[in-house]
Chains A and B, each alone.
Chain A
Amino acid sequence: MIPLAAYTAVSAVLFMTGLLGVLVRRNFIIVLMSVEIMMNAANINLVAFSHYLESMAGQLVALFIIAIAAGEAAVGLAIIIVVFRGKISTNVDEMNLLKW
Chain B
Amino acid sequence: MIGVFFAYFALVSIAAGVLTVSLRHPVHCALSLLVLLMHVSGLFIILNAEFLWAVQVIVYVGAILVLYLFVLMLMNLKTDERYFHSSALYILGPAVLGAGYVLYLLLRSPFSGAKGDTPATAVLQDGDTYAVGIKMFSDHLLQFEIVGIFLLGAIIGAIVLAKTPKQLDAERERL
Contact = CB atoms under 8 A, between A and B. Distances in A.
Interface of A: 1-2, 4-10, 12-14, 16-21, 23-27, 29-30, 32-34, 36-37, 40, 43-44, 47-57, 59-60, 62-64, 66-75, 77-82, 84, 90-93
Contact of A10 (B43, B72, B115, B128): B43
B17 A47 contact: no
Interface core residue of B21, B71, B77, B117 (most chain A CB under 10 Å)? B21
A32 B115 CA distance: 35
Contacts of A33: 20, 29-30, 33, 68
Contacts of B147: 64, 67-68
A14 B132 contact: no
Contact of A78 (B3, B116, B153, B157): B157
Q: Looking at chain B's contact residues, is the secondary structure mostly helix, strand, loop, or mixed?
A: helix
A24 B88 contact: yes
B161 A82 contact: yes
A64 B143 contact: yes
A69 B60 contact: yes
B64 A36 contact: yes
A50 B43 CA distance: 13
Interface residues of B, number: 82
Q: Looking at chain A's contact residues, is the secondary structure mostly helix, strand, loop, or mixed?
A: helix
A19 B128 CA distance: 31
Interface string B115-157: 1111110000000100110011001100100010011011101
A26 to B, nearest CB: 5
Contacts of B29: 30, 33
Given A2-B46, A16-B99, A37-B17, A54 B157 contact: no
Contact of A9 (B55, B107, B131): B107
A19 B116 CA distance: 31
A29 B71 contact: yes
Contacts of A50: 47, 49
Given A25-B83, A60-B135, A17 B18 contact: yes
Contacts of A44: 40, 43
Contact of B68 (A51, A55, A56, A77): A77
